[in-house]
């Protein structure tokens, strides 16, 4: 069995790895580290949670051990799709670079440009950034990428989903042609393949698992529910979510609940807190400081439930997550693989529930085609006869019942038999006289000339006499 000491890594790096407790590299690490140390381009394809971050961080630290960074010219560049993933890469770098003199800078949104500029001005060996913030610094003239020796693109398929591919292509063109490129992705979409063919030179391809597969350590369960109508669906699913958590009890140590929309994230988190569950939301509209505090609380165990949008679905290393809930069936089939990959990591067991309603049929079909197997169906505890479902159902129905339109007048009309019926007026009284119709209407187009009042004379019709006077005549008149 291969160990890290067999991979020709720097002794300081090996010491840092030993301090973390790892001794054996994962398949993606074993396959990528050797060619990366040789300076070759690497294309790594592996499902989430397989150790891709260390697969490029360890050889990068070893190769950058010799040399010195210059101001505003980083020696290596790591691109990540989200702030959280970029921050996680920075944490891993600090962990593995202990004992070395390498400097890093983290360029993400939500942090002042001034602080980041100061780091860049001092010179950094490793620059970790999201594409948007990196381009912002470049366009402000605060950054040069002509000294990049190693470039890493992490979670490339997530970059594609978030619309970053044009930015990635532009950044590639800013870096030297002689750079080494390490390209990692969980899936291999046609657009990703096009980029690798364009910007990678004869890469070593490491594919440690079949594309778009889910880990065998994850128990997948589909909970089906048919609401009375679409207005009841969200409330019903919140009741189902609470019932599953209560049923699983202590086995559900913590969980990530994924929603498709940011507004739904806030609603679900608020509902869980209302029912006594320790939950907090995380999505792209929140301040970076709040997102960081929430993730730190979830990691250290002080927060039990993390309600998230897909910003937290890719690449985040959150250990010991026992459960994942797809509150909404993801609209992109690949997101299902990444969401449930937050549990069952590093050989540990995990459970992934997906709450399904008939309106999600096309999304479920796409997911099952992608993973090439049906998701096992499970019992819906909220609907179990004689269980708490029967007690909760009336409450959900009352709260989610659509409100009736209030456009009617609030005053109650009298019954028809109590309303006196007046005799209709005579025909002569109902119809206005023809003479009245002939009267000119004020303000109408057809009114008579006499009704318009005195004629207004403009400069075109009459020129005041003082305008026709010469300058000398006006001066003489005023003297």
218 DSSP 8-state letter: E
Q: What is the CATH number of the domain that holds 371?
A: 3.40.50.300
Same domain assignment for residues 223 and 337 = yes
Last residue of a domain, one of 400, 429, 448: 400
- 426 in any annotated domain: no
Phi, psi at residue 236, to the nearest 5°?
-60, -45
- 316 in any annotated domain: yes
In this predicted structure, the answer to whether residue 427 has a pLDDT above a threshold of 50 is no
- 241 in any annotated domain: yes
- 452 in any annotated domain: no
pLDDT of 465 reads 64
Last residue of a domain, one of 400, 422, 457: 400
Same domain assignment for residues 93 and 14 = yes
What pTM was estimated for this model as a whole?
Answer: 0.65
Q: Using 50, 70 and 90 to split pLDDT, how confident is the model at 305?
A: very high
Six-digit token string for 62: 């070893």
Of 44, 26, 55, nearest in space to 183 by CA: 44
Q: Stretch 436-445: mean pLDDT, rounded?
A: 46
Q: Which residues contact 479 (CB under 8 A, 6 or more apart)?
A: none
Same domain assignment for residues 198 and 237 = no
70 DSSP 8-state letter: B
Distance CA(43)–CA(37), nearest Å, equals: 14
Same domain assignment for residues 261 and 294 = yes
Count of domains forming the chain: 2
In this predicted structure, the answer to whether residue 448 has a pLDDT above a threshold of 50 is no
Distance CA(224)–CA(338), nearest Å, equals: 21
Instruction: Characterize the bridge pairing of strands 350-356 and 323-326.
Output: parallel
Q: Using 50, 70 and 90 to split pLDDT, how confident is the model at 476?
A: low
pLDDT of 314 reads 60
Same domain assignment for residues 203 and 228 = no
pLDDT of 313 reads 57
Last residue of a domain, one of 367, 400, 433: 400
Instruction: Give the domain extent around 121.
Output: 4-207
Longest CA–CA span in the chain (Å) reads: 115
Q: Using 50, 70 and 90 to split pLDDT, how confident is the model at 479?
A: low
- 469 in any annotated domain: no
Same domain assignment for residues 195 and 224 = no
pLDDT of 386 reads 43
Q: H/E element holding 373? A: none
Tens of pLDDT, residue by residue over 271-287, are: 999 999 999 999 878 88
Q: Using 50, 70 and 90 to split pLDDT, how confident is the model at 456?
A: low
Tens of pLDDT, residue by residue over 352-405, are: 999 999 999 999 999 999 888 999 999 999 863 344 443 444 444 444 444 444
Q: Stretch 300-309: mean pLDDT, rounded?
A: 94
- 301 in any annotated domain: yes
45 DSSP 8-state letter: E
């Amino acid at each position: 069995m291969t160990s890290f000491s067999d991979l020709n890594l720097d002794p300081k790096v090996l010491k840092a790895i030993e301090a973390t407790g790892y001794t054996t590299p994962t398949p993606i690490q074993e396959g990528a580290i050797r060619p990366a140390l040789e300076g070759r381009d690497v294309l790594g394809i592996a499902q989430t949670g397989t150790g891709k971050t260390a697969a490029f961080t360890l050889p990068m630290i070893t190769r950058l051990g010799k040399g010195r960074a210059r101001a505003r010219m980083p020696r290596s560049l790591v691109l990540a799709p989200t702030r959280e993933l970029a921050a996680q890469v920075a944490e891993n770098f600090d962990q593995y670079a202990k004992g070395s003199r390498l400097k890093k800078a983290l360029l993400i949104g939500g942090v002042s440009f001034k602080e980041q500029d100061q780091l860049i001005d001092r010179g950094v060996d490793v620059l970790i950034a999201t594409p948007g913030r990196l381009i912002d610094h470049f366009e402000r003239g605060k950054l040069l990428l002509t000294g990049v020796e190693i470039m890493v693109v992490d979670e490339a398929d997530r970059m594609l989903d978030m619309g970053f591919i044009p930015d990635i292509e532009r950044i590639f063109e800013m870096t030297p042609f002689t750079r080494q490129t390490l390209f990692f992705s969980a899936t291999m979409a046609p657009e990703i393949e096009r980029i690798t063919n364009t910007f990678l030179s004869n890469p070593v391809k490491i594919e440690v698992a079949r594309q778009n597969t889910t880990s065998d350590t994850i128990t997948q369960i589909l909970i089906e529910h048919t609401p009375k109508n679409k207005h009841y669906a969200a409330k019903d699913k919140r009741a189902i979510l609470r019932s599953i958590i209560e049923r699983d009890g202590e086995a559900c140590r913590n969980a990530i609940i994924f929603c498709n929309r940011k507004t739904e994230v806030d609603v679900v988190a608020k509902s869980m807190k209302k029912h006594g569950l320790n939950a907090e939301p995380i999505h792209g509209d929140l301040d970076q400081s709040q997102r960081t505090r929430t993730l730190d609380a979830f990691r250290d165990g002080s927060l039990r439930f993390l309600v998230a949008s897909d910003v937290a679905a890719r690449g985040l290393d959150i250990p010991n997550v026992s459960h994942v809930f797809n509150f909404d069936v993801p609209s992109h089939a690949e997101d299902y693989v990444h969401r449930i990959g937050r549990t069952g990591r590093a050989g540990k067991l995990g459970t992934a529930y997906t709450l399904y309603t008939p309106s999600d049929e096309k999304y479920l079909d796409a997911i099952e085609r992608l993973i090439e197997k049906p998701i096992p169906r499970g019992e819906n505890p909220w609907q179990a006869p004689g269980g708490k479902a029967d007690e909760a159902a009336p409450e959900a129905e009352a709260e989610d019942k659509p409100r009736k339109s209030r456009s009617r007048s609030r005053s109650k009309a009298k019954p028809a038999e109590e309303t006196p019926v007046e005799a209709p007026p005579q025909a002569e009284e109902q119809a206005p006289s023809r003479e009245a119709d002939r009267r000119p209407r004020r303000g109408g187009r057809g009114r008579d000339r006499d009704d318009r009042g005195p004629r207004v004379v403009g400069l075109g019709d009459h020129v005041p006499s003082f305008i026709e006077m010469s300058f000398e005549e006006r001066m003489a008149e005023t003297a």
